[in-house]
Each structure stands twice: as structure tokens, then as C-alpha cells.
Copies of this chain bind each other. A is one copy, B any other.
Amino acid sequence: MLGEMLENVRKNVPLVHNITNYVTVNDCANVLLACGGSPIMSDDIDDVRDITAICTALNINIGTLNKHTIPSMLEAGKISNSLNHPVLLDPVGAGASRLRTETAKRLIDEIDFTVIRGNISEIKALALGGGTTKGVDADVADSVTEETIDSVISFAREFSKSTGAVIVITGATDLVVSPEKAYVIKNGNPMMSKITGTGCMLSAMMSAYIGANPDNIPEACAAAVCAMGLCGEKAFDRLGEKDGNSTYRNMLIDEIYNLDAQTLRKGAKYEMR
């Protein structure tokens, strides 16, 4: 099933509209090409309507949000909704500043997201309300471990129900949670955190996966998470003694470029809960 998700990306070549940060945008574009999709970036309010209309999916990433791009995000999201395009939110830094937290919440209020993908602190910042009053769920763990995993899944499931989005929480263990099912994924390598933008790249790639597999969103998300993690493992195995994070980034993208369905099927490490 995960292999089929990948094949649909390569077959359909989904054009993904990205409103994303300027830090990792080039890597996102190259990852989209590597996985079989096609990228377009556009963030002016007068441009996003036309661009999002010709695309298959929309990827909104608030990594370097500003007062000119926030209205563009809202506009593009609403148009994508009206066209039934899958829309993904990457709430980079939610919880780290009021602007990021509030913008992400406003986006969630006004747009129907297909997927929300972040790390555990970002997702918690959005699900549990901001500031000092954390409410009843305030005891959700700050990391996903064997001990905490069931409570994190319950928490994500509630957030999935309230938003209508599949919730993807990435870290050492990754979770893909819908109201009906949960994937617990163990692919990946710690060195992925030594490259800027692995999260952003995953969100971009996941947007292509949901664009090409609109009827199987949780599976498409799980396939993208497994693919990214597996490529992180394979790239790590190829590193030489003198290589560092820059070479690792290149090898990671190269692995995505060369990944096929069979390798993904064999290498995916996940269970359902």
C-alpha cells in the first residue's frame, strides 16, 4: 500500500503550490522534484489565486511568516478548499512566538486542512491553547516514548477530530493519526536533525503524496514519513568518515530521487495502533 502511494506520485507528477520559508525553500523544491512531483512557489496575494488553481496540492509553511504572506496563506488555503485540493500545514515554530502560534491557529480556524504536520511541541501549542493556562490536556508528554505513546496518540486523535485533519507528529518516533487509525513509524536517523529543513522537506514531499493520493490521506502521509526516514537511513549508511551534514543533505535528496516502491515496502518500519 505504501509503495502504491509512491508510485502514484511518480505517475501523476502532482504540481504543488508552496507558500514556505526562504530558509529551506530550495531543498523543498529539489525534494519535490526528487520524489516525482513538481514545485511552484508563489506568495503574493495577487498571485496565489491563479497559481493554487493550477496546482494539485497546497503546502503552507510558516517558517518565515510575515504580514504580507499571512493573507496569501489564508487566501490560497480557502481557494484550495473550494477546489477540493489537499492542503497541508507545517506550523514551524508554533509555541515559540505569539505570532506563529496565533497565525497557525487562525489558519486552522479559517482553512480546512487535510494534514497538519509538526513536532510534538508545535502540535501541542496548537491543540492545547497557548500561554499559561494549558487546560485539561496539559499533561501530554513532550516526547514520544514507549511510555507516552498511547496518550500522545489519544491526544492527536482528539486534535484530528476537532480539526478534520490527519495529524502527523514527527520526532525519533513518528505518528500519523486520524480518527480511525494510527501509524507508529520508526524509520529515520538522528543525523536528520543536523540538517536544516528535514521537517520542511517532509512537508513538501507529503504534499505531493496527498496530492497524488487524495482518497488515501493517512496512507499517503505514512508513506511519505517512511520514505523520508528510510532515505535518511540509507544516506547515513553511505556517509564517509570526512562527510558532514552538507553531504548528508545531498545524499538524502539523492536517496529520495532513487527510491522505488519495492525499496519503500521492504524498508518501511511501522505498526498500526
A residues neighboring B (CB under 8 Å) = 21-27, 29-30, 33-34, 39-44, 46-47, 49-51, 54, 63-68, 93, 96-100, 194-197, 238, 242-247, 249-258
A22: min CB distance to chain B, Å = 4
- Complex contact A246–B242 (CB within 8 A): no
- The CA-CA distance from A48 to B24 in the complex, in Å, is 19
User: Known contacts A47-B97, A246-B250; is A197 also within 8 Å of B26 by CB?
Assistant: yes
- The CA-CA distance from A23 to B31 in the complex, in Å, is 13
- The CA-CA distance from A100 to B249 in the complex, in Å, is 32
- The CA-CA distance from A29 to B40 in the complex, in Å, is 20
Q: Within the complex, which residue of B30, B44, B249, B252 is in contact with A30, where a contact is CB–CB below 8 Å?
A: B249
Q: Within the complex, which residue of B42, B96, B253 is in contact with A97, where a contact is CB–CB below 8 Å?
A: B42
- Complex contact A254–B258 (CB within 8 A): no
- The CA-CA distance from A55 to B47 in the complex, in Å, is 30
Could you list some 17 contacts between A and B, CB below 8 A?
A22-B22, A24-B26, A24-B29, A26-B26, A34-B194, A34-B244, A43-B64, A44-B66, A47-B65, A50-B98, A242-B255, A244-B257, A246-B250, A246-B252, A246-B254, A247-B250, A250-B250
- Complex contact A256–B244 (CB within 8 A): yes
User: Known contacts A46-B67, A99-B47; is A249 also within 8 Å of B246 by CB?
Assistant: yes
- Complex contact A51–B96 (CB within 8 A): yes
> CB-CB < 8 A to A44: which residues of B?
64-67, 99
- The CA-CA distance from A119 to B185 in the complex, in Å, is 42
Question: Which chain B residue lies CB-closest to A241?
Answer: B258
> CB-CB < 8 A to A30: which residues of B?
195-196, 245-246, 249
> CB-CB < 8 A to A98: which residues of B?
50
- Complex contact B29–A196 (CB within 8 A): yes
- Complex contact A66–B43 (CB within 8 A): yes
> CB-CB < 8 A to A51: which residues of B?
93, 96-97
- Complex contact B242–A254 (CB within 8 A): yes
Q: Within the complex, which residue of B26, B41, B254 is in contact with A27, where a contact is CB–CB below 8 Å?
A: B26
